[in-house]
Amino acid sequence: MASNRMSRKLINIYRLGIKELWSLWRDPVMMVLIVFTFTFSVYTAGTSMPDTLNKAPIAIVDEDDSPLSQRIISAFYLPYFMPPQMISLQEMDSGMDAGLYTFVLNIPPNLQRDVLAGRDAEIQLNVDATRMSQAFTGSGYVQQIIQSEVSEFLQRYRSNTELPVNLAVRARFNPALDQSWFGSLMQIINQITMVAIILTGAALIREREHGTIEHLLVMPVTPAEIMVAKVWSMGLVVLIAAALSLNGMVRGILNVPVEGSLPLFFAGAALHLFATTSMGIFMATLARSMPQFGLLMVLVMMPLQMLSGATTPRESMPEFVQNIMLIAPTTHFVEMGQAILYRSAGFDVVWPQFLALAIIGSVLFIYSLERFRKAIMQMA
């Protein structure tokens, strides 16, 4: 008898899930959303993440007008720098105030003469430090370029000594520090979260708006079955879409090598989906309509994505933000994803994240089910 009831439950959950899949299949907006997020937006995230320095606008005040200064000027070219603008000293301040140039190089009179004479010479580099992305790495580049141009220039006149101790810097896991590796995989991770919440939330709100939830409730099915059916079906869709995207888009088209174990990653993703689909249900019980759900999404998704460590490193956030974000499933999923996909970590390394996701997922699921049970009564 008990086993009979159990199998009834499973059959109901299966049937209701299949119904969800049909509903999704016939909803063009959601289908376009899934396709778009897992193809186009992964592609753009992989290709358009700017390299640290890209077309930085630079201006040069050349008060020397010597072969050396010409040599320096001609060393700035695309794609790192825009062709340098030659300006006068008076134009420097106003140009920087208006934000026209990120860098202004001031080459003093008699630079070449002083350098050749071995006297102290100084070039001034003005950086607009309100443009963080270009300012920091860019000024390093500018210095290097100037130094190497000057020393090459001097090579003809005197030999230079090498530094005795070298740094042999190697980047592990992404030797060329290729941004597309990071951008595309993190985008998939972000999209898994977003699409899972939207799909489950929208599926519930749609049932409520169409009044079909009422119909389900007069049938011999329980709220728990309805919710589990939504969780498994929508989770499965996202999992498949993510797997296709990871293999086709990231490895195939973007040529990003993925070192780690994909089965392990998707096992973790499944656990994460358990948490996020529950969250989708929860948000749908809070929102009274689709528009409200949309507004909630705006407020919830931004912190989930931006503070999870998928855009900037967690350790540079204030400690209280780091601690708060420990309750968000995305934090653990991002950590786990980075460890598996980039550093090919095994289960022995990422088990704490698995455990955290399992706990967060269960809490969210139980809490959402409780709310769903209550809300469903008000819906009917």
Touching other proteins, residues 109-168 (CB under 8 A): 111, 115, 118, 120-137, 139-140, 142-143, 146-147, 150-151, 154, 161-168
Structure tokens belonging to residue 377: 């009564």
Count CB neighbours of 114 within 10 A. Answer: 16
Touching other proteins, residues 230-289 (CB under 8 A): 287, 289
Give the shortest CB-118-to-other proteins separation in angstroms. 8
By CB under 8 A, residue 294 contacts other proteins: yes
Give the shortest CB-111-to-other proteins separation in angstroms. 8
The candidate with the shortest Cα–Cα distance to 300, out of 197, 230, 209, 214, is: 197
243 versus 290: smaller Cβ distance to other proteins = 290
| Dihedral in degrees, nearest 10, Cα atoms 363, 366, 369, 374 | -100
Binding other proteins (rule: CB under 8 A), the pick from 62, 338, 360, 368 is 338
Touching other proteins, residues 308-337 (CB under 8 A): 311-313, 315-318, 321, 335
Touching other proteins, residues 4-43 (CB under 8 A): 8, 11-12, 15-16, 19, 22-27
117 versus 362: smaller Cβ distance to other proteins = 117
CB-count burial class (<10 Å; 0-12, 13-18, 19+) for 99: exposed
The candidate with the shortest Cα–Cα distance to 67, out of 39, 14, 107, is: 107
Instruction: Sketch the per residue contact string, 90 through 109, with other proteins: x for CB under 8 A, - otherwise.
Output: ------xxxxxxx-------
Residue at 105: amino acid letter:
L
Give the integer Cα–Cα distance in Å for 55 and 83: 9
101 versus 274: smaller Cβ distance to other proteins = 101
Return the range that interacts with other proteins (CB under 8 A); candidates 243-251, 275-283, 291-299, 356-364.
Answer: 291-299
Give the shortest CB-17-to-other proteins separation in angstroms. 11
Give the shortest CB-293-to-other proteins separation in angstroms. 8
182 versus 232: smaller Cβ distance to other proteins = 182
Return the range that interacts with other proteins (CB under 8 A); candidates 187-195, 245-253, 296-304, 358-366.
Answer: 296-304
Give the shortest CB-241-to-other proteins separation in angstroms. 19
Considering only the C-alpha atoms of the chain, give the largest distance between any 2 of them, rounded to a whole number of Å. 100
Give the shortest CB-252-to-other proteins separation in angstroms. 21
Residue 145 neighbours by CB under 8 Å, 6+ apart: 72, 75, 76
342 versus 367: smaller Cβ distance to other proteins = 342
Residue 238 neighbours by CB under 8 Å, 6+ apart: 34, 192, 195, 196, 199, 273
The candidate with the shortest Cα–Cα distance to 369, out of 274, 271, 301, 299, is: 274
Give the C-alpha distances (Å, rounded to integers) separating 197 from 84, 296, 316, 368. Answer: 48, 11, 28, 13
16 versus 274: smaller Cβ distance to other proteins = 16
Per rule CB under 8 A, count of chain residues that contact other proteins: 120
| Sign, Cα dihedral of 214, 216, 219, 223 | negative
Which DSSP category does 81 fall into? B
Give the shortest CB-202-to-other proteins separation in angstroms. 9
Which DSSP category does 85 fall into? E
| Sign, Cα dihedral of 55, 64, 87, 134 | positive
Residue at 131: amino acid letter:
R
30 versus 241: smaller Cβ distance to other proteins = 30
212 versus 255: smaller Cβ distance to other proteins = 212
Give the integer Cα–Cα distance in Å for 308 and 317: 10
Touching other proteins, residues 36-65 (CB under 8 A): 50, 52, 54-57
- Cα 323 versus chain centre, distance: 20
Structure tokens belonging to residue 221: 């099915």
Binding other proteins (rule: CB under 8 A), the pick from 39, 70, 261, 344 is 344
User: What is the helix (H) or strand (E) element at residue 107, kind and residue range?
Assistant: strand 103-107
Touching other proteins, residues 165-224 (CB under 8 A): 165-175, 177-179, 181-182, 210-212, 214-222
Give the shortest CB-362-to-other proteins separation in angstroms. 24
141 versus 367: smaller Cβ distance to other proteins = 141
SS3 110: coil
